[in-house]
Amino acid sequence: MSLLTFNTAISSYRHHSVQRSRKNFAAPTSNPSSSCPCSTTAFPASLFCNSRTRPFSRLSVVSQTANLVSDTDSAARVGQDRLLKVPTSNIRNFSIIAHIDHGKSTLADKLLQLTGTVEKREMKDQFLDNMDLERERGITIKLQAARMRYMFQNEPYCLNLIDTPGHVDFSYEVSRSLAACEGALLVVDASQGVEAQTLANVYLALENNLEIIPVLNKIDLPGAEPDRVIKEIEEVIGLDCSNAILCSAKEGIGITDILDAIVQRTPPPSNTAERPLRALIFDSYYDPYRGVIVYFRVIDGTIKKGDRVYFMASGKDYYADEVGVLSPNQLQVEELYAGEVGYLSASIRSVADARVGDTITHFSRKAEKSLPGYEEATPMVFCGLFPVDADQFAELRDALEKLQLNDAALKFEPETSSAMGFGFRCGFLGLLHMEIVQERLEREYNLSLITTAPSVVYRVNCVNDETVECSNPSLLPEPGKRRSIEEPFVKIEMLTPKDYIGPLMELAQDRRGEFKEMKYITENRASIIYELPLAEMVGDFFDQLKSRSKGYASMEYSLVGYKESELIRLDVQINGDPVEPLATIVHKDKAYAIGRALTQKLKELIPRQMFKVPIQACIGSKVIASESLSAIRKDVLAKCYGGDITRKKKLLRKQAEGKKRMKAIGKVDVPQEAFMAVLKLEREVL
């Protein structure tokens, strides 16, 4: 068949496919040639059914795309029945895990579309990513839940999907999602293969004893190598990929196979509806009209509208005004039972009453033991958040409390700065997390904020055998009181093509990294493991990694502990007065370079005064770098059009005495623009 004839057949099929309906969404039986949904067409079924042995061609992608176009009316009809109850044995709770940009959100879109959960006129790209920030950056920041209804072998099934982020800074969101599921779709890019975060998410899934279904996405790309990637998954992760699913979420290929695999291979939840209610809160947010809205997974028992519920950790009780499911919008139901995922509205006004990880039970029939919940998130990076307008301090506090409800990994405590007034010291899981939180505060709560340079938590061993944790350089004890300083170290694993091993090892060595191990995953890809200080990584390490590897390398890190280092506090003095917000804790070997860069930048940014202003970088009382801001001088000799030289000397001497008095009592105000520019410089230099 010529390509022209083939394309004509495809166009004809697309034109008439809307008027044909599929009898059901049945999965392929043991005989793929007879059950393949493409077998009714003029093309051979062997062209479309997944097989590791058959060659994959671009022509088959076009054919399969056309033949797997689902009947929209039939899917929508099934999807509208998603509120109907099914037996517990027909419930499937699953999550999608993958490295960033491997197609999680696109796959979730296709699952919603094929099951009729979202009507075609409402469909848009990244449907579950409901924040503008997520759409602009093309990443998933928040986990999102969606309930779907799927017909398998003429039997209805309830599928509860929880879409997860892929970036390492949001791994806490992934762990919360996996705790509410029994299965996970492991999505791997068929052209890029196994990445660093792929491994990290698989280990999280294995810790939760989930059934993992490997899925190879983007098989329609010219550079796709399914056989190579399948071999890579088996060698690196150790998963059996003999039944891995080949798909293209963008083109709609293999989506039915994925839904069938979820039904067949994901275990159903336990039928414990007769036990006392226990529901795990995996997410929540604050609604200004309804209060705190809680997302939960029912582990045991049942919950109905109007029930008096009790939060076991906070000890508070409320009446359930509204109970429903997320599909993906909120739809009210009368009752939810063991295995189901839903939401609860109970006019909860205090954000502390319903925290993520808490257990919901009945007030009249309390459960004996609460659910394990989640491990407390450990902040890796700290920075100060200050409102530009001091009157917005109370608004910033309220905004942080509400955002913490939606982002349990965020930690904060009040802080005072001599330069920027009252604010908060906030802890984050990483630099991207910090950046996202700042943008969300500014967009969602209309705040104007100043962010200080990111820093990490140091441990100071004092001479009196006390250990002090210090996240702010201004809190560092005096040199005479401390015996040693320990800084956090991380184990970082970089996956890279073999061509970029040298530049990445050089990058890690420059950041005081300790080489641990290097091994070849495949013939062309290697894994490099280093241990390096977290403070060296919170700057532009990730940017440098992508730059030196031309975007091909990926990384994943985890905290390994604290190690003693030669650290000092670098102070900045302007006109002899120390400026606390510009103080930093740096390694002894880098102190001079950072001090020189800071003083030169401040000289450019601080406006000139009527007197000479010295700008100094100091370690204790020792000045290691200095710049001077020359004074603005009035021409006092302008009125001397003649006369003796002593007249001019007298005027100059009088001016010098005035400048000296002015310098003694004068105060230099550092503008906020200077702070912002210097803080940005610190990130680059550190």
Q: Can you say which residues are annotated as belonging to the binding site for GTP? A: 98-105, 163-167, 217-220
Preceding amide of 473 cis, omega within 30: no
Q: What is the DSSP letter of 478?
A: P
Distance in angstroms (rounded) separating the CA atoms of residues 302 and 291: 23
Following CA atoms 13, 19, 20, 26 in sequence, which dihedral angle do they give, to the nearest 10 degrees?
Answer: 110
HSE-CB of 555 using CA atoms within 13 angstroms: 23
Distance in angstroms (rounded) separating the CA atoms of residues 211 and 202: 11
Distance in angstroms (rounded) separating the CA atoms of residues 232 and 198: 12
**Alpha-carbon torsion 315, 321, 327, 328, what sign?**
negative
Identify each DSSP E strand in 73-202 by its residue range: 91-98, 144-152, 155-163, 183-189
Please give the single-letter amino acid code of residue 218.
Answer: K
Q: Which residues pair with 491 in a beta bridge?
A: 531, 558
Residues annotated within the binding site are 98-105, 163-167, 217-220
Whether 267 and 182 have beta carbons less than 8 Å apart is answered as yes
β-sheet with 359-362: strand ranges across: 316-319, 308-311, 359-362, 278-287, 291-300, 341-348, 322-326, 330-332
Minimal CA–CA distance to 520: which of 491, 499, 490? Answer: 499
Distance in angstroms (rounded) separating the CA atoms of residues 325 and 332: 6
Minimal CA–CA distance to 17: which of 57, 66, 58? Answer: 66
Distance in angstroms (rounded) separating the CA atoms of residues 186 and 168: 16
Burial class (CB in 10 A: 0-12, 13-18, 19+), 638: exposed
**CB neighbours (10 Å) of residue 243?**
13
For residue 616, what are the CA distances in angstroms to 593, 606, 613? 13, 13, 10
Tokens, residue 617: 């970088």
